[in-house]
Amino acid sequence: MNGAERPGPPGPAEAGGAEGFVRSLVLLRRWAGEPSLSRLRSLGGQTAASDGTMVDALPKSTTSHVLRQGGRLPRWEFVRAFVTACLRSCEHPPELIPGELERWRAARATLAGLAAPTLPGPGEAGPARAEQEATAPARPEPGEAALAPPSPGAGGAAGSEAPRTGTGEPPGSGPPGSGAPGSGAAGLGVGERAATVAVRADGPDPAVELLGKGLLGGYDIAPVSFGPVPHAARPGTPGAAVEDLHTIGRFFGGLRSRRLLVVGESGAGKTVLAIELVLQLLDPALTPGGAPEQPRMVPVRLNAARWTPGRPFERWLAEQLVQDFGLATEDALRLVRDRRVLPVVDGLDELDPEPAAGAPRRAIGLLAELNRYSDLSGRRQGAVVVTCRADRHAELREAGAGLDNATRIHLHDLTAGQIAAYLRARWPDDHPCADHRDGIQEALDGPAGRTVHTALATPWRLLLTVTAVESGGDPHELLRADPHADPRDGAERIARRLLEAYVPAATRLAPRAAHGTPYQPAQVRAWLVRLAAHLRWQAARTAGADRPPPGLTAIDLVPHLLWPIGGWHLVRVLHCLCSVLLAVVAMLAFWTGSAIDDLDGPLAGAGPERLLTLALMTSWVGIVTGLSLSRWPAAAGGRANVPRRRRVTGALLGALAGAPAGVLGGLAGLVLTGGEIFGPAFAVGAGGTGGLTLGAVVGLTAAGRSGTERMTVAEAIRAEPVTLTGFGLCGALTGLAPLRLADAGPLPLAAGVAGAFVLAFALGVVFKIAAGGWSMDAELAHPREALHRNPTTGVAFGLTGGVAAFLVFVMSQDVVESLVCALIGGVTFGLAFGALAWTRTMIGLVVAATRGLLPLRLWAFLDWACEARLLRVSGATYQFRHRELQDFLTGPERVGDR
């Protein structure tokens, strides 16, 4: 059946209830060709959890459960992501997807007993409050959140439809990727969308008002209040006004200096406040005021722990826009130079290890940079927001360091009334845990009430409590305390009890529904302890390095940097042996395919050509060996989120450019060999085929989104001189084979080998510039994306070289043997030479799993841990849900060098 005869996608029109609605979803998936759960998860992108952390919109376990149960109407966020993923899976026309989504939304609203609202236009209100309530998340959570950039492609499909914005205004509900009014910023990261707004000369796009949809999520976030003094003022205290979470935008807008320092205890809600500030500043009605000539600034949240000592702040800020949001370097630098970005630097306290040995020098260094950061006029200090833990702030003050000309606010503890109000909102009277509200209230009102209140006085600790209770914990046991003990000591014991219960509770509340046996709490804890210990090890490594690799911080779990868990020295040795083996196999395949062997053996009657061949092979194996021993192979390769049409166009243009170049190369070989090995027809045909293939692969890889940053030739050569030399050696080997067969003289031999070396070296430079992923500024949509692209790109380039080798092999071998040698050589070349990071990571993972340190299916575990709210995705990294959880799991153990 061709595309014109294909019936349209089934809709929900015939669904007579929740069961029929779910059945329609199953039929839609069947119509789309039964895409796997993994593919649906990939196409569904990411959404924000109730605490702001980015998680998969369509986890495999959740999707499987929803499609099996029929008595409950799925949430709109799930329906939207699922329908979009199915339609994209079968390449349904993108312009028709918004209409299909509207059909499903209207049908769901009707089944929920609501009138289907009209999609809002620019400046109009969004859906009715009743629709929001019908789609509210089942488990709002009060913990800390992270504003990580959503997937810039399909990743925003579901993530942009959360039930509320930071200001409480109802968002729009346009479909992802549509240009219709109300579509918002679906599919774009906050920084990317914000930067787009900042570039516009005619003011902000109204769609930016909808960016807050998926960032905090849920209706019931534990209240966060702040004021100029460390603790909440008692009623009637003069000059100690207390603000709440939803007034932070107005408060910041009233600051003349537009410099704010947020101080609070661990878990007090600093990140929640930072995210809420970003959301409110993206609302034009709440944008900070200023002089009319001042440009509107777009807030972007940044992790302070990623700053490198000695790095100028402006340059670092631009790099974060490039790395996290996929902006071109020139655009990022211009936005920073023109002061169109408001940096919200979260986690100043996470820069230095705990406990700090002396003054926190890294935090002091960043503060010095921020104090040098000026506004556009250069006469005042630049606008910035910084969050810091209270004890680290005290250490900085003792060292004489601070954020100059900044207003300091302190986050206040939750009051007993705020705790009770939150519990009533989370556990209404018909909730299974409603009876436990009384148990917690009794503990707060009992003899040890002060101790219990101290333990529950932050949103993070309150989250620990409700999670433990919802998994079956007894609040009386969790909150028991000695009324005669010091309240702070008793609160610490309660906190340790809550942290101890959190991992088992989260594991039980998010059972693993796919891939067989569910995870056991003891397993999960052991693996998380190992990851936490690795982060402490990373912090120690970073402290002793001038330029650590991107992502090697005290809080970021980067997939291709986890291999040291298997053993620093052991994994590197095994990687070296594996790479040498692959390199030798590649060279043996070339030796066999080019018919260097004869009846007398490879070394018999050794002439200059044979010795030169052996020298080139040995040198290439030596280069591979050296690269395999590098400390931190970079995982990259290929550009992401490029439209298919642009990739096809790039491949065609590359093929058109490569074919004539290949013909010229074939004719040059014909001249150098004197026509002894092949004739003009083979020179034109083989040269054209090889050039066409190489050009198509380069064009396919080089295709990028508009404005994509490119490396210069000089930058490419400086970045990877050894790798490019390896490319040149392989080219020299390929050019040497036909010259040897033709018994070419010394001058043609030298000219041919040198020319082939230069050509292959140049192709290596082109590959490096084209791939873009070899550099550190490749845009990433998921923490594992770079690692997944690394072997794909490496093997693709290896097989491309295999095409050239095949054309050489058929001069002296039959087609089948030539093809086998070219395939083996291309794959092993790609793995040994182009996929160093992937090979190192896989070896490290296998070793760690063999030693019982990590699960073999580590990636599935990390995704599940995010779904269970133990970890979170922040840009291109995984992080622990909260630093207190990470530190608790690490414990007092001293992690030495591996």
- Look at residue 382 in the predicted model and tell me its pLDDT: 92
Beta bridge partners of 880: 871
Among residues 242, 837, 892, 201, the alpha carbon closest in space to that of 551 is found at: 837
Pick from 5-14, 66-75, 128-137, 418-427: least confident: 128-137
Contact 37, 130 (CB under 8 A): no
pLDDT of residue 165: 32
Show contacts of 839-842: CB within 8 Å, 24+ apart. 839/575, 839/578, 839/579, 839/628, 839/791, 840/560, 840/563, 840/571, 840/572, 840/575, 840/628, 840/633, 841/559, 841/560, 841/562, 841/563, 841/635, 841/787
Rounded to whole angstroms, the Cα distance separating 131 from 127 reads: 6
Residue 724 above 60 pLDDT? yes
Of residues 549 and 583, the one with the higher pLDDT is 583
- Bridge partners (DSSP) listed for residue 874: 877
In 3D space, the residue among 849, 842, 846, 854 whose CA is nearest the CA of residue 523 turns out to be 854
Sign of the C-alpha dihedral, residues 38, 40, 42, 47?
A: negative
- Greater pLDDT, 126 or 370: 370
| SS3 sequence of 114-143 | CCCCCCCCCCCCCCCHHHHHHCCCCCCCCC
* Strands (DSSP E) found in 39-178: 46-48, 54-56
Assigned token pair, 169: 């205004």
- What is the average per-residue pLDDT within 864-890? 86
Rounded distance between C-alpha atoms, residue 562 and residue 858, angstroms: 10
Specify burial of residue 856 (Cβ count, 10 A radius: 0-12, 13-18, 19+): exposed
Higher pLDDT, 56 or 639: 56
Give CA–CA dist 507/389, Å, rounded.
29
Instruction: Read off the tokens for 882.
Output: 């909260």
User: 90 near 40, Cβ under 8 Å?
Assistant: no
pLDDT band at 163 (very low <50, low <70, confident <90, very high): very low
- State the Cα–Cα distance between residues 440 and 476, nearest whole angstrom: 7
Amino acid at 861: F
The packing angle between helices 60-68 and 18-31, to 10°, is: 120
**Is 213's pLDDT higher than 50?**
no
Nearest partner of 802 among 589, 630, 509, 646, judged by Cα: 589
Q: Mean pLDDT over residues 59-80, rounded?
A: 78
As a whole number of angstroms, the distance between CA 656 and CA 691 comes to: 9
**The pLDDT of residue 848 is above 90:** yes
Sign of the C-alpha dihedral computed for residues 766, 767, 771 and 777 taken in this order? negative
Hey, is 822 helix, strand or coil?
helix
Identify the bridge partners of residue 300 per DSSP, sorted by sequence position. 343
d(CA 842, CA 833): 15
Lookup result for tokens 């992401």 = 640
Q: β-pairing, 259-264 with 243-244? A: unpaired
Span 803-828, average pLDDT: 87
What residue type is 178 in one-letter code? S
Would you call 3 helix, strand, or coil by DSSP?
Answer: coil
pTM of the full predicted structure? 0.68
Residue 200 has pLDDT above 70, yes or no: no
Residue type, 692: L
What integer is the mean pLDDT of 192-218?
35
Better pLDDT: 129 or 437: 437
Q: Return the number of other C-beta atoms located less than 10 Å from residue 863's C-beta.
A: 23
Number of residues that this document lists for the chain: 898
* CB contact at 8 A, 481 and 451: yes
Predicted confidence (pLDDT) at residue 526 exceeds the cutoff of 90: yes
173 and 214 in contact (C-beta within 8 Å)?
no
Higher pLDDT, 167 or 372: 372
What is the pLDDT, as a whole number, of residue 866?
86
Assign residue 753 a region: left if phi > 0, alpha if psi is -120 to 50, beta otherwise? alpha
Instruction: Tally Cβ neighbours within 10 Å of residue 815.
Output: 10
The confidence score (pLDDT) of residue 385 equals: 95
How far apart, in whole angstroms, are the C-alpha atoms of residue 468 and residue 478?
8
Rounded CA-CA distance 853/895 in Å is: 14
What pLDDT does residue 452 have? 92
Residue 125, CA distances (Å) to 118, 211, 429 in order:
10, 14, 32
Alpha-carbon distance of 277 to 273, in angstroms, equals 6
271, 553, 888 from 896: Cα distances, Å? 31, 16, 18
**622-646 residue pLDDT tens:** 999 998 998 888 776 555 556 677 7
- Please report the pLDDT score of residue 37 as a whole number: 80
The pair of structure tokens assigned to 449 is 């009430």
Whether the Cβ atoms of residue 524 and residue 507 lie closer than 8 Å to each other: yes
Q: Which residue has the higher pLDDT, 803 or 703?
A: 803
C-alpha to C-alpha distance for 417 and 99, rounded to whole angstroms = 46
Task: Tell me how far apart the terminal alpha carbons of the chain are, to the nearest angstrom.
Answer: 59
Note the pLDDT tens digit of each residue in 253-267: 888 889 999 998 888
Higher-confidence position of 877 and 16:
877
Residues 325-362: pLDDT tens digits? 667 777 888 889 989 999 999 989 888 766 666 788 88
* Mean pLDDT, residues 456-470: 89
Portion of the chain with pLDDT greater than 90, in percent: 18
Is 90 exceeded by the pLDDT of residue 533? yes
So what's the pLDDT on residue 584?
93
Share of the chain above pLDDT 70, in %: 75
> φ, ψ for residue 229 (rounded to 5)?
-115, 155
d(CA 196, CA 175): 19
What's the rounded Cα separation, in Å, for the pair 633 and 833?
11
CA 818 – CA 814 distance, rounded (Å): 6
605 Cβ contact partners less than 8 Å away, ≥ 6 residues apart: none
Among all chains, which residue has been given the structure tokens 């760690």? 848
pLDDT of residue 26: 86
**Structure confidence at residue 781 (pLDDT):** 53
- Do residues 46 and 57 make contact, with C-beta atoms less than 8 angstroms apart? yes
